């Protein structure tokens, strides 16, 4: 437990960034740590950084990007337009280069808790990184009938430093894509345009991008589909399958990716209940380099109980912000959304 208001995230001896543990607005000690860390990272630009800091009170008011809350159930938009609007919103929040992660995130929280965090992130409208973008993408895509969402997590190494990255994989019919945010555009958004008709092709596209940047991909984790229920007390299954592409033959991990897709077809991602049986028990690990996944008895042994009702009110920040909106004027063919089937 930190006592100084922030915590360092390290890779070996290298500090990657700091996590704000004091909440928002930033405390004086977190603000000071953010600026000094920036100077430590870029000592040749210390004077320029100091000049920017001294002028901070003179900057114009920053526009507040209005989240597309209702885009998921908008019948006037096609599926591709919905995902594009969500991705555009995520990009407009911008990547966080400050060295201080503004939000205290815990991946082990249930979906309801993570979605509370997502609402907080959208309310504050501050720069974000990949995991915050992942949570926003889950929140805003909830309610798109037929769209399966799942995590794709990467662990890579570059110059002896280990990095982690995550995007929200999406599947609609036989098409795959992804939503997310990264310093590199080809490590984030992948449109759902028919280019990736197999999950392995989507993964290979990320692998090639990492190779182009000189990163060695150590591990890829893919989870089970995330149910369309913002109030769910289930936790996300982060690693239904684990791939080590530098130690596994391409044909082998493609076969395992196809296997996890077959398991997804047996799952009801719209179930508005909490399972008494952990979803992690639905996949059984082996000692192979590719974690094999299996599903007992086609999920028929699960028992459920109803969730308790919870408030989904999202209060606005007390900080005065200028409102801007994303483009929502054009119309195309409908995709048949059924908002009554989803708890949002």
DSSP string, 200-259: HHHHHHHHHHHHHTT-EEEEEEE-PPPPSBTT--PPP---SEEE-TTTS-HHHHHHHHHH
Quick one: pLDDT at residue 155?
97
- Closest to 208 in 3D by CA, of 154, 151, 132, 149: 154
Identify the active-site residue in 153, 182, 275, 337.
182
What pLDDT was estimated at residue 267? 72
Q: What is the pLDDT of residue 82?
A: 96
State the Cα–Cα distance between residues 141 and 69, nearest whole angstrom: 9
| 182 flagged as catalytic | yes
CB 142 within 8 A of CB 230: yes
**Residue 216 CB coordination number (10 Å):** 13
Q: How far is CA 254 from CA 15, 200, 226, 263, in A?
A: 35, 6, 22, 15
Query: Would you say 217 and 207 are in contact if contact means Cβ atoms under 8 Å apart?
Result: yes
Catalytically annotated residue among 120, 165, 215, 228: 165
Q: Could you list the pLDDT tens digit for every one of the 344 residues in the chain?
A: 556 788 999 888 889 999 999 999 999 999 999 999 999 988 999 899 888 888 877 777 777 889 999 999 999 999 999 999 999 999 999 999 999 999 999 999 999 999 999 999 999 999 999 999 999 999 999 999 899 999 999 999 999 999 999 999 999 999 999 999 999 999 999 999 989 999 999 999 999 999 999 999 999 999 999 999 999 999 999 998 999 998 888 888 888 888 888 888 777 665 543 333 333 333 333 333 433 333 323 332 223 233 333 333 333 333 334 444 444 444 444 443 333 234 44
pLDDT at 61: 76
- pLDDT for the residue numbered 268: 62
pLDDT at residue 269 in the model:
61
Does 130 participate in catalysis according to the annotation? yes
d(CA 247, CA 268): 33
Q: Between β-strands 216-222 and 241-243, what pairing exists: parallel, antiparallel or unpaired?
A: antiparallel
Cα–Cα distance measured from residue 246 to residue 165, given in angstroms and rounded to the nearest whole number: 17
pLDDT at 294: 30
Is-catalytic flag, 281? no
Q: What is the pLDDT of residue 311?
A: 32
Question: With 0-12 CB in 10 A as exposed, 13-18 as middle and 19+ as buried, what is 271?
Answer: middle
HSE-CB at 278 with a 13 A cutoff on CA atoms is: 10
What is the rounded distance in angstroms from the CA atom of residue 311 to the CA atom of residue 19? 28
pTM here is 0.77
Q: What is the pLDDT of residue 271?
A: 52
User: Which one of the listed residues 130, 275, 295, 337 is annotated catalytic?
Assistant: 130
């Amino acid at each position: 437990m930190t006592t100084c208001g922030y915590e360092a995230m390290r890779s070996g001896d290298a500090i990657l960034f700091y996590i704000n543990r004091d909440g928002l607005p930033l405390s004086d000690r977190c603000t000071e740590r953010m600026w000094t860390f920036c100077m430590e990272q870029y000592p040749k630009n210390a004077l320029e950084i100091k000049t920017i800091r001294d002028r901070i009170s003179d900057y114009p008011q920053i526009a507040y990007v209005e989240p597309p809350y209702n885009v998921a159930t908008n019948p006037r938009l096609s599926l591709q337009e919905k995902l594009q609007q969500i991705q555009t919103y995520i990009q407009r929040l911008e990547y966080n280069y400050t060295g201080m992660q503004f939000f205290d995130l815990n991946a082990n929280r249930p979906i309801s808790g993570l979605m509370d965090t997502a609402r907080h992130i959208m309310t504050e409208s501050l720069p974000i990184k990949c995991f915050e973008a992942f949570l926003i993408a889950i929140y805003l895509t909830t309610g798109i009938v037929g769209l399966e969402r799942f995590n794709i997590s990467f662990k890579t190494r570059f110059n002896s430093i280990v990095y982690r990255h995550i995007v929200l994989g999406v599947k609609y019919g036989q098409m795959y894509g992804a939503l997310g945010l990264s310093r590199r555009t080809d490590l984030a958004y992948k449109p759902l345009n028919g280019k990736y008709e197999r999950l392995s092709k989507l993964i290979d596209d990320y692998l090639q991008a990492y190779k182009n940047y000189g990163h060695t991909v150590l591990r890829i984790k893919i989870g089970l589909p995330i149910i369309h229920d913002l109030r769910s007390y289930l936790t996300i299954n982060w690693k239904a399958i684990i791939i080590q592409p530098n130690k596994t033959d391409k044909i082998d991990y493609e076969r395992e990716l196809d296997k996890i897709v077959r398991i997804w077809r047996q799952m009801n991602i719209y179930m508005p209940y909490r399972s008494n049986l952990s979803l992690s028990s639905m996949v059984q690990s082996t000692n192979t380099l590719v974690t094999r996944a299996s599903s007992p008895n086609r999920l028929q042994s699960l028992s459920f109980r109803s969730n308790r009702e919870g408030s989904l009110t999202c209060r606005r920040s007390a900080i005065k912000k200028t409102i801007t909106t994303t483009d929502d004027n054009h119309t195309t063919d409908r995709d048949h959304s059924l908002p009554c089937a989803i708890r949002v």
